[in-house]
């Protein structure tokens, strides 16, 4: 059904909080044609500081929305990590340098830093092209959910009633908004939405106090442009290279500092100062010299909490996301990534339900996929923070954390830290029954990027560029070598099977399957041995739909994907990639029925015209 | 001396004609701080059709101005060429497919097509950021050059007087503009500027008549997305893939067509039509089917002229560039490339003279470098056009052009066709005395791009990205392996030598050498074996100035540059790259004097303050 233009006090989705989680949701939904309002209590957006680390998987996701190139242009990438430990002669010395992150299948095997406001601007500018803007300063003052079962079960109903207060109006104007769905992506430990919904949190405040400064340094420290971990007898410091010549120091502050108010247990920023943080940094970095040039761009001091919300939704009509669901230390730079990945996971599901293409039950997989991830994240953070805070191993402190333990932790968690290895468990939208037919392409993980060439013109193309976040399922038909007669015969038979009215393409294609599904044919044939016109018309709605697993004209990229994916060139396979880029189901050519069943488990047929 | 803001009727440079040549000049000069006016007789810019092919070297040049990425995003690249010849059974059949262009050292080893208006928009948008716009519809009606010798010799004088007529004013308003220099980049065979200056042309009209159509095709032709040359017994056709699904056909039309007016010898477009061109195409492409979908985006018919202007300047104060200097067939897609490369060559020289940094004699190298190229281009075009127009070899026509001859011509001219192999002869700005110390880096050719890593953070970087068209000479100090004691010692000695008042850095550095020179230190040391802080401070004004000839953290790029450039890791070398990206001079470490002399031959010392 078409999305009806709604009056401004009736919207498909109301989003509270325009940080990275809220903006990822808003941008994805707006481009999917969903009517969205997004509000934020801040008068103006963040322009410096705050979160700043973007991981390989998040870069891939941003690029799927067309935002990754600008991120890389405006941010700083870093490829190398350096580790320092106490020197026998006092001070520190370098123990080792390694890759900043080990993510061999990543399209972008590095980290990018950019201040949070720069990330948020990517989404805001993208939404502005659709004339949708963040309304601010606006807070929600009440939220009510209808208890009518028919309302709650109907994707067309507006069961969420939220009162918004415009803080810049002299009278404090309030308005009531009725929404089909709402997302609370408001700030962290103090999420208004989470509290208003009475969602509990599990976990605790720690005693770990950290200072953060963003500065341009004048220094002789040779690893100032690398991600650097310094364990000194004077304390622990993490250095992060940032855009331009900026760097960020995270410094562990002594627990007896007067920065903490003993009565409230909270940080008293009037007692802290960037100069005191820099003093601590200078001590830790001896014998290297470090002073700041010009102003401190941003700084803060905080005590780390490690908490996860008990549930991520109320009746699948109001959702919480991002810091409202999980808070933890910033030391592996996971926060902003986890937040954006939450709503990237949620947006397509909401869009499918709002369009009447999927049943409401699809929304349950948001919590099942993201709550488990959040718990894993907190568990990791506890171990990681402890290693960070503990004294380094030395002759006087044999019980301390050794460099090998520290590096081992980083290496063993690289799939998690890069986001590349995150795997969603089997569910209605993750079906690994035929995992064996694409043995190295893990169902539930993101589709692995590889370089291919277009059959029509041998232009190289990364698979991810043909898997944009356009709300469609991608049907990748790995046809094998179509110059082999048996393969071509099998491809024709597959086309006939998928062309029948029993096929998911027609049952769930909403009258014109290309609205819901994008189909590509990927051949193992060499570029000189075939033409794109050799592929049956059914599998090439356009010349760009035929890819080859072969090198480009100059041998600079391409080839080897069948092996990397564990797909047989003789048997082929069908790979279904979800709208968020995760592998949903794979099947051999003779098990299209299982793909039909996969879609039948959560998709709805179009009503008769 | 600083460039003074001039009243609008006094400008540093007046440019007549806002096509690719004029806009390349205007954009380069505007960003160099030169005051520019650029006028064009057309009411609105070109929006479809016209020239469309961009070659590997031109892509590099556009990227040096920050415009290459957008070009590639908006245009279509093509990597493959296909060749068709008569089939023994009638119709045509494919003989071979090859690389579209053979340019192994090119950063972008392919061609890009985009309609001329899209190319022009790159420059216009870039200039708009400096509030400079094309004035239109405006024509020049008179041009006078002062005959005062002192005026002609002084870069501060305004010896060029041009009357401009504003065509959109009801009274046909005229104004007089005084310019230090002028560039005539107005259209082709009918250049007003060239005629007004009485510059003769050499060469002739041919009898070759060509039709051109830009269409979206419906076809079963398998090479429709490749650059295709079809020699059939029905005629000759060239197919060029264009942005989106557009393609362009160039079709040779029979010389007895009624498209040509016998009396005037000019094309009579009222007799021609795109349908008649498409009819010819359909015959040539048999047995393949080709019809157009929707409208013809653009079409034309013309007779090819092959001419070169006798001189490119009058007294080095008024220059002509682009089609005003050279006209030829479009069949190797050279025109727009040659035009933009003309003014890319001129812009930095004008800028240096206007700033008082170089003597007027530098301007002579514009003609010496570009006129020879234009003559080579016409000579190539004559041979190439003939091969194109001649009947293909067949059993009935053994004298015809064979596929091997045709392909051989393409291959042997690949350096020329790609722009990559264009070499400027020795002159004041091309000094190959010490060619041997960088034996594979040809002095006079463009600096070869290679991937390096930054020493500070191992981020990969293409050398071209640190050689932008920012009007500075780039001093590349190839230091060898600085972990070898002799190399480090030699580097320190070089720093001392270059730090004296005899050094070009100080003599021609205009008081702060980084205005004129950008210096980089490129070490052969491995990334794990050194820190950027190991390089003497003299050679690293910033952490980004130290590069390593080594692979990145993932082995995806980098390494091998010393060998590729023919520079000894033991001896090192100094490579001076001109502001337009061409190698100006190379020298061993113990011959810095020759670099001093190179600059002294055309640069001026800053006057005493």
pLDDT at B537: 96
| Residue ranges of B 289-348 with Cβ closer than 8 A to chain A | none
Q: Cβ contacts of residue A568 below 8 Å, gap of 6+?
A: A437, A480, A562
Give start and end residues of each alpha helix (H) in B49-102.
Answer: 56-64, 68-74
Residue of B220, B247, B414, B458 best to disrupt the A interface, most CBs of A under 10 A: B458
% of chain A surpassing 90 pLDDT: 77
Q: Using CA atoms, how far apart are residues B462 and B550, in angstroms rounded to an integer?
A: 12
DSSP string, B105-145: T-SS-SEEE--HHHHHHHHHHHHHTTT---B-SEEEEEEEE
CB count within 10 Å of CB A548 equals 25
Q: Reading across the β-sheet that carries A290-309, which strands appear in turn?
A: A92-99, A80-86, A227-232, A235-241, A247-253, A201-219, A290-309, A326-327
pLDDT at B500: 93
pLDDT at A188: 63
- Residue of A78, A223, A553 lying closest to B79 (CB–CB): A553
Helices B335-354 & B56-64, crossing angle to 10 degrees? Answer: 30
What is the mean predicted confidence (pLDDT) over A258-268?
Answer: 77
What confidence tier does A7 reach under pLDDT thresholds 50, 70, 90?
A: low
Give start and end residues of each alpha helix (H) in B390-520.
Answer: 403-412, 414-418, 485-498, 504-507
Chain B contact for A541 (CB, 8 A cutoff): no
Chain B contact for A220 (CB, 8 A cutoff): yes
* Dihedral angle over CA of A303, A309, A310, A314, nearest 10: 150
Report whether A79 contacts A99 (CB < 8 A).
yes
Q: What residues of A are in contact with residue B552 (Cβ under 8 Å)?
A: 79
What is the mean predicted confidence (pLDDT) over A96-116?
Answer: 93
Q: Is B250 a catalytic residue?
A: yes
Minimum mean pLDDT range among A147-161, A202-216, B465-479: A202-216
Q: What residues of B are in contact with residue A450 (Cβ under 8 Å)?
A: none
Report whether B152 contacts B317 (CB < 8 A).
yes
What is the mean predicted confidence (pLDDT) over A21-47?
Answer: 95
Residue of A73, A75, A80 best to disrupt the B interface, most CBs of B under 10 A: A80
Q: Is B52 a catalytic residue?
A: yes
What is the mean predicted confidence (pLDDT) over A385-403?
Answer: 80
- Residue range A510-565, pLDDT digits in tens: 988 999 999 999 999 999 999 999 999 999 999 999 999 999 999 999 999 999 99
Domains and their CATH numbers in chain A: 10-77+109-202+307-385 (3.50.50.60), 435-600 (3.40.30.20)
Residue A317 above 90 pLDDT? yes
- Which pair of structure tokens corresponds to residue B249? 């056909």
Q: Reading across the β-sheet that carries B451-454, which strands appear in turn?
A: B460-462, B451-454, B546-548, B517-523, B473-480, B573-577, B583-587
Q: Cβ contacts of residue B171 below 8 Å, gap of 6+?
A: none
Q: Using CA atoms, how far apart are residues A325 and A340, in angstroms rounded to an integer?
A: 12
Q: How far apart are the first and last CA of chain B?
A: 10
Prediction pTM value: 0.94
Report whether B107 contacts B73 (CB < 8 A).
no
- For residue A181, give how far its alpha carbon lies from the nearest alpha carbon of chain B (Å): 37
Q: What residues of A are in contact with residue B99 (Cβ under 8 Å)?
A: 553-554
| Residue ranges of A 71-100 with Cβ closer than 8 A to chain B | 77-80, 97, 99-100
Q: Is B330 a catalytic residue?
A: yes
Judge: B528–A97 Cβ closer than 8 Å, yes or no. yes
- Residue range A165-184, pLDDT digits in tens: 999 888 778 999 999 999 99
Chain B contact for A217 (CB, 8 A cutoff): no
Q: Using CA atoms, how far apart are residues B408 and B402, in angstroms rounded to an integer?
A: 10
- Residue range A421-434, pLDDT digits in tens: 999 999 999 999 99
Chain A contact for B457 (CB, 8 A cutoff): yes
Q: Using CA atoms, how far apart are residues B526 and A132, in angstroms rounded to an integer?
A: 50
Identify the residue whose tokens are 């976990």: A203
Q: Cβ contacts of residue B211 below 8 Å, gap of 6+?
A: B249, B250, B251, B253, B259, B272, B276, B277, B280, B299, B300, B301
Q: Is A490 a catalytic residue?
A: no
Q: What is the mean pLDDT of each run of 10 residues along chain B (609 residues)?
A: 59 97 98 97 87 94 97 95 93 95 93 95 97 95 96 96 92 91 86 93 83 96 97 93 95 77 77 90 96 94 88 97 87 87 98 97 97 91 82 79 86 89 96 98 98 98 98 98 97 96 94 94 98 97 98 95 98 98 98 97 83
- Which pair of structure tokens corresponds to residue B29? 């000069």
pLDDT at B503: 95
Judge: A222–B109 Cβ closer than 8 Å, yes or no. no
Judge: A223–B528 Cβ closer than 8 Å, yes or no. no
pLDDT at A456: 98
Report whether A146 contacts A97 (CB < 8 A).
no
């Amino acid at each position: 059904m078409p999305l009806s233009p709604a009056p401004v006090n009736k919207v498909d989705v109301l989003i509270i909080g325009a940080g990275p989680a809220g903006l990822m949701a808003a941008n994805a939904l707006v481009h999917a044609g969903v009517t969205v309002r997004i509000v934020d209590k801040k008068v103006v957006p963040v322009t410096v500081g705050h979160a700043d680390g973007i991981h390989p998987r998040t870069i891939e996701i941003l690029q799927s929305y067309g935002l990754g190139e600008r991120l890389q242009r405006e941010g700083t990438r870093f490829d190398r990590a350096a580790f320092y430990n106490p020197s026998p002669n006092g001070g520190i010395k370098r123990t080792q340098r390694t890759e900043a992150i080990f993510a061999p299948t990543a399209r972008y095997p590095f980290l990018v830093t950019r201040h949070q406001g720069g990330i948020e601007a990517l989404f805001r500018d993208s939404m502005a092209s659709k004339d949708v803007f963040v309304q601010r300063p606006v807070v929600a003052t009440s939220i009510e959910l209808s208890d009518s079962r028919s309302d709650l079960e109907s994707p067309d109903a507006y069961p969420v009633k939220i009162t918004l207060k415009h803080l810049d109006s002299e009278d404090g104007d309030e308005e009531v908004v009725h929404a089909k769905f709402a997302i609370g992506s408001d700030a962290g430990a103090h999420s208004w939405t989470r509290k208003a919904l009475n969602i509990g949190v599990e976990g605790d405040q720690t005693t770990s106090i950290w200072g953060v400064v963003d500065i341009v340094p004048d220094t002789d420290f040779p690893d100032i442009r690398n991600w650097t971990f310094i364990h000194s007898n004077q304390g622990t410091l993490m250095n992060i290279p940032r855009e331009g010549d900026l760097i960020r120091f995270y410094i562990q502050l002594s627990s007896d500092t007067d920065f903490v108010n003993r009565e409230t247990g909270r940080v008293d920023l009037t007692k802290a100062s960037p100069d005191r943080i820099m003093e601590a940094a200078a001590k830790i970095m001896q014998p290297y010299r470090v002073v700041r040039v010009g102003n401190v761009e941003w700084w803060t001091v905080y005590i780390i909490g490690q908490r996860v919300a008990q549930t991520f939704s109320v009746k699948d009509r109001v959702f919480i996301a991002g810091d409202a669901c999980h808070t933890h230390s910033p030391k592996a730079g996971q926060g902003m990534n986890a937040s954006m990945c939450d709503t990237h996971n949620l947006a397509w599901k909401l869009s499918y339900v709002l369009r009447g293409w999927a049943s409401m039950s699809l929304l349950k997989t948001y919590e099942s996929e993201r709550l488990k991830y959040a718990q894993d994240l907190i568990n990791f953070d506890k171990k990681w923070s402890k290693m960070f805070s503990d004294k380094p191993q030395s002759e006087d402190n044999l019980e301390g954390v050794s460099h090998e333990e520290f590096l081992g932790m980083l290496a063993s968690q690289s799939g998690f830290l890069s986001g590349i290895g995150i795997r969603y468990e089997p569910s209605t939208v993750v079906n690994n029954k035929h995992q064996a037919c694409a043995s190295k392409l893990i169902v539930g993980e993101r589709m692995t990027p590889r370089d291919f060439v277009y059959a029509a013109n041998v232009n190289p193309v990364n698979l991810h560029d043909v898997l944009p976040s356009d709300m469609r399922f991608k049907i990748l038909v790995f046809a094998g070598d179509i110059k082999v007669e048996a393969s071509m015969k099998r491809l024709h038979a597959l086309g006939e099977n998928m062309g029948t009215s029993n096929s998911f393409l027609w049952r769930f294609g909403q009258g014109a399957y290309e609205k819901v599904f994008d189909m590509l044919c990927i051949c193992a044939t060499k570029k000189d041995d075939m033409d794109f016109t050799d592929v049956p018309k059914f599998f090439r709605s356009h010349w760009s739909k035929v890819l080859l697993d072969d090198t480009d004209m100059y041998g600079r990229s391409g080839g080897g994907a069948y092996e990397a994916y564990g797909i047989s060139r003789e048997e082929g396979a069908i790979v279904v990639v979800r709208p968020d880029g995760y592998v949903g189901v794979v099947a051999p050519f003779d098990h299209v029925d299982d793909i039909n069943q996969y879609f039948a488990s959560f998709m709805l047929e179009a009503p008769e015209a």
